[in-house]
Structure 1
Amino acid sequence: MNCSNINIVFNTCAKIDRSLRQKLSSIWYKSYVLGDRTRYFHSSRTICQTQKDDVEVLLSPQEVTVILRKNEFNKDFSHGSVKSYDSNQLQSNDPIEDTRCEAQCKMTPGLLMGVFDGHGGPACAQVVSKRLFKYIAAALLPQELLENYIKQEPRELLIDTFNDRAEIVQDLKFIYDKSFNEYLSKLSNTAKDEIDVKVCLEKSIMHLDEDLSREVVEPFKENGTMTEDNEWVARKITKEHNTENFDELKRIWNEHPDEERKTVIRRDRLLGELAPLRSLGDCRYKWKAEILSEVAVPLIGQKAIPANYYTPPYLTAKPDVYYHRLTPKDKFLIIASDGLWDMMTPLQSVKLVGEHMKGKVFFNPLQLPKKNIQLGDINELLLHRKESLKSKPKDRNAATHLIRHAIGGTEYGIDHSRLAHLLSLSSDVSRMFRDDMTVTIVYFDSEFLRQCPA
């Protein structure tokens, strides 16, 4: 955002009330985000900041660190291709609309990890994070195991989740269990000689989306890689499902009549409203107009039916599934919501995590490499460690390290003033400058991968 854009922010936010406009009139300042993109950020005082003798006092470095580390989590594994993972979240919306989930399949090998970026509220993302991995784990069961599982009473858990603090209320749990049992029945009636992971992922995601839609309507009816030169390279695994992806635009255009070409995508959004072109939920862009009239219009009015809504569905939950075989050169995987990618490029994030990997060894006590080591060797080792300590990161958790740099990073390092200002913004202002951030970094075991058969 350059200076000429600042007024545009105010002009396009017509619903900002007078008190918020007054908040926005205090401090603007200029900074650089890990590269050459100039950005201007506004600061307003909130309860996180205090005044002393009419002078505004910033959050201290310790207070900033407490905020950044509030949702940290890390998990180590004793065997397999994944050695450990770090995760963290920093909200901008209140409540946060991002959710994340990590789990291990109990009846088949494999880890499941996901970041779910909600919009218009947190509810759908929360429900998907609680339910999706069970659908995927069930789809991955061989036929015999699936049939045995269905017969179990009580059934063992399909997955072990980590850092799962949320509980589903009992009345919703009953509905979700009913849908899941019907899903299991359909799976068992579809004979499969072998497991096709791509197909299993697609079907489980699509089926959950169908269940989400049906569960709403039914009541109304009833009533990171390294090169040979040890330079970090970011290998992008996924593609965005938005208007910057021309293949997505062509898919949307081909699914609707030519006369809708100018209306199906407007202002870089689906029907001029929705930024993502694929998603779970968002039934307003999937249901027939008659169902919207019956279910949604009585609740939120005629605006429930988008303009130019002629040939639904306009939105799909069908995923793009990518396969990448891990090699010893693959060191880690970064999964993050676009709150992170709005602030830094994939290569910048990979370099930061790579530097963090080298520096975090200094969180552990010094261990001498061998017995009978000479005093001279110890002295040389200590001198090297002292010099290397300069690269020790502030945060042990790499997800926190990325979030800290995404918000406060400049080409000269971390700008505490900027970091403190942005973390002090109230939620009504914060959303104008950054999105919720959720980051999971998965570390691979290079030695395990080196010994795996090709």
Structure 2
Amino acid sequence: MVFCSGARRLVLNYSNVGTRHVKNPSADSPQRFYASLPRLTPQEVTTILQANEFTKDFEGPGSIKCYDSNQLASNNPIEDTRSEAQCLLTKELAEHGNAKEFQMETALENAFLRLDNDLSSEAMMKLSKKDAARTLAVAMSGAVAVIAHVDGPHLHVAGVGDCQAVLGVLSENDGWSTKIMTVEHNSDNRSEVERILSEHPNSERSTVIKMERLLGQLAPLRAMGDFRYKWTKEILQNVAVPYLGDGAIPPNYYTPPYLSAKPEVQYHRLTPRDKFLIIGTDGLWDLISPLEAVRLVGEHMSGKVTLSPLRLPKKNMKLSEINEMLLHRKEGLKKKPLDSNAATHLLRNALGGTEYGIDHGKLSQLLTLPGEVVRVFRDDITITVVYFDSEFLRHCPP
């Protein structure tokens, strides 16, 4: 079974490449945006959140029991995409008549690179036609992606960019822990920065990564497409500049390619303790941590709610004030999840979760932001939660 998720970026308006998202909308959102917003009813909120949810159950023996998925748009149209598929054929590799062991890591790497090369080749072939400008627009945009391949107890996850896949693991004392199955390719990843710097002359060390972005423009340091960071300067000069102007060539563009579509692949052998895998685009992880997400899904499996960690709003609080907060929190823990779909449950809590439960007002605000400002406070969000069959994994041969 293969699950994939990705977020697309179209970078043609170069003045917008520095846009950042507010990580904590409840704390940082300007109230002037909220004053005139319509107030949604609880049912209206639920209708919006559940509009794109999907659940698939599997019959028969296998490591996957089912999966839940959902999407919430910020951009219009949404720039995220998701897909799931069952592999009907596993290829055997042979070389000079001798059997050669199939390497899933290599196969996934080749799949990413071949797709990226095909996209480049197709764009080149269409540049002489009348829709060259549209072809260029697509070629100059890009996508980050993560793919999870599950074959019995074998889990491989491949990714480029900042989508994440997180494994939910139930410990022996019934607590939840995470295993991060992806590597974020951005300037926070020091080894990734050093990799890119090592591929270019020392004279470019101050320009390859600038303002925490590739050539001062692109946040993901690996991606599909985005050929304005891959094609030679001569190609860009001849085919892109006539349509897009001199801005089609990034500044300090001396020794391309600067961007790679080669994924990092991680392998994990599943055990009965591995209960589910959460795959999400960066819009989810902007709002919630991997451990919070795992706890939410884990408790959701038992029909329970999980609250955000309790934070005292001020210092030197009286015991009576703290006790009132704890009682309020206790009431929140008695409530049951509103959504049977775990992806929707994650979505609701990422947008409206507090230490006391779901804040309906906060949810309503984030779901009614006007189109011209919504992208500042939340990105497109795509979530898939894959549940594993513990009994099947318990009886898998070592």
Letter of the 1:258 counterpart: N
Residue 68 in 1 paired to residue 49 in 2?
yes
Partner of 1:410: 354
Partner of 1:215: 122
Counterpart-to-counterpart distance in 2, 1:298 and 1:249? 32
Counterpart-to-counterpart distance in 1, 2:204 and 2:269? 41
With over 3 angstroms needed to count, the CA separation of the structure-2 counterparts of 1:96 and 1:190, relative to structure 1, is farther
Counterpart-to-counterpart distance in 2, 1:192 and 1:298? 51
Residue 80 in 1 paired to residue 62 in 2?
yes
With over 3 angstroms needed to count, the CA separation of the structure-2 counterparts of 1:235 and 1:143, relative to structure 1, is closer
SS at match of 1:71: coil
Counterpart-to-counterpart distance in 2, 1:262 and 1:57? 48
Letter of the 1:348 counterpart: E
Kept in 2, the 8 Å contact 1:32–1:410? The answer is no
Letter of the 1:69 counterpart: Q
With over 3 angstroms needed to count, the CA separation of the structure-2 counterparts of 1:318 and 1:354, relative to structure 1, is same
Partner of 2:156: none
Kept in 1, the 8 Å contact 2:281–2:383? The answer is yes
Partner of 1:438: 382
Partner of 2:92: 142
SS at match of 1:435: coil
Counterpart-to-counterpart distance in 1, 2:47 and 2:98? 52
Counterpart-to-counterpart distance in 2, 1:57 and 1:39? 20
Counterpart-to-counterpart distance in 1, 2:383 and 2:129? 41
Q: Shift of the alpha carbon at 1:219?
A: 2.8
Q: Shift of the alpha carbon at 1:39?
A: 2.4
Kept in 1, the 8 Å contact 2:23–2:377? The answer is no
With over 3 angstroms needed to count, the CA separation of the structure-2 counterparts of 1:87 and 1:339, relative to structure 1, is same
Note the residue ranges of structure 2 that are not aligned, 5 or more in a row.
1-14, 17-21, 131-167, 305-330
Residue 254 in 1 paired to residue 198 in 2?
yes
What is the CA deviation profile of residues 54-101 of structure 1, one whole-angstrom value per residue up to 9, with x for unaligned ones? x86401111111110111001011121011000000011111111001
Kept in 2, the 8 Å contact 1:289–1:309? The answer is yes
Number of positions where the alignment pairs a residue of Structure 1 with one of Structure 2: 317
Q: Shift of the alpha carbon at 1:143?
A: 4.7
How do 1:115-264 and structure 2 match up within 5 A?
Answer: 141-143=91-93, 193-220=100-127, 224-264=168-208
Partner of 1:39: 27
Counterpart-to-counterpart distance in 1, 2:98 and 2:217? 41
Partner of 1:91: 73
SS at match of 2:302: helix
Letter of the 2:225 counterpart: G
Partner of 1:284: 228
User: TM-score, length-normalised on structure 1?
Assistant: 0.65
How do 1:293-442 and structure 2 match up within 5 A?
Answer: 293-359=237-303, 390-442=334-386
Q: Shift of the alpha carbon at 1:312?
A: 0.1
Partner of 1:20: none
What is the CA deviation profile of residues 261-292 of structure 1, one whole-angstrom value per residue up to 9, with x for unaligned ones? 00000010000000000011000000001111
Letter of the 2:350 counterpart: A
Counterpart-to-counterpart distance in 1, 2:86 and 2:393? 19
Counterpart-to-counterpart distance in 2, 1:205 and 1:341? 23
With over 3 angstroms needed to count, the CA separation of the structure-2 counterparts of 1:67 and 1:89, relative to structure 1, is same
Choose between structure 1 and 2: higher helix proportion: 1
Q: Shift of the alpha carbon at 1:221?
A: 6.1
Note the residue ranges of structure 1 that are not aligned, 5 or more in a row.
1-14, 17-30, 50-54, 109-140, 145-187, 361-386
Partner of 2:85: 103
Kept in 1, the 8 Å contact 2:278–2:385? The answer is yes
Q: Shift of the alpha carbon at 1:356?
A: 0.5
What is the CA deviation profile of residues 362-390 of structure 1, one whole-angstrom value per residue up to 9, with x for unaligned ones? xxxxxxxxxxxxxxxxxxxxxxxxx9x94
With over 3 angstroms needed to count, the CA separation of the structure-2 counterparts of 1:205 and 1:191, relative to structure 1, is farther
SS at match of 2:343: helix
How many percent identity over aligned positions?
Answer: 56
Q: Shift of the alpha carbon at 1:107?
A: 2.1
With over 3 angstroms needed to count, the CA separation of the structure-2 counterparts of 1:142 and 1:32, relative to structure 1, is closer
Letter of the 1:210 counterpart: N
Letter of the 1:405 counterpart: N
Kept in 1, the 8 Å contact 2:93–2:102? The answer is no
Choose between structure 1 and 2: higher strand proportion: 2
What is the CA deviation profile of residues 386-439 of structure 1, one whole-angstrom value per residue up to 9, with x for unaligned ones? x9x944210010001001111111121111011001100122210000111000
With over 3 angstroms needed to count, the CA separation of the structure-2 counterparts of 1:57 and 1:271, relative to structure 1, is closer
Letter of the 2:76 counterpart: D
SS at match of 1:198: helix
Kept in 1, the 8 Å contact 2:26–2:362? The answer is no
Q: Shift of the alpha carbon at 1:45?
A: 7.1
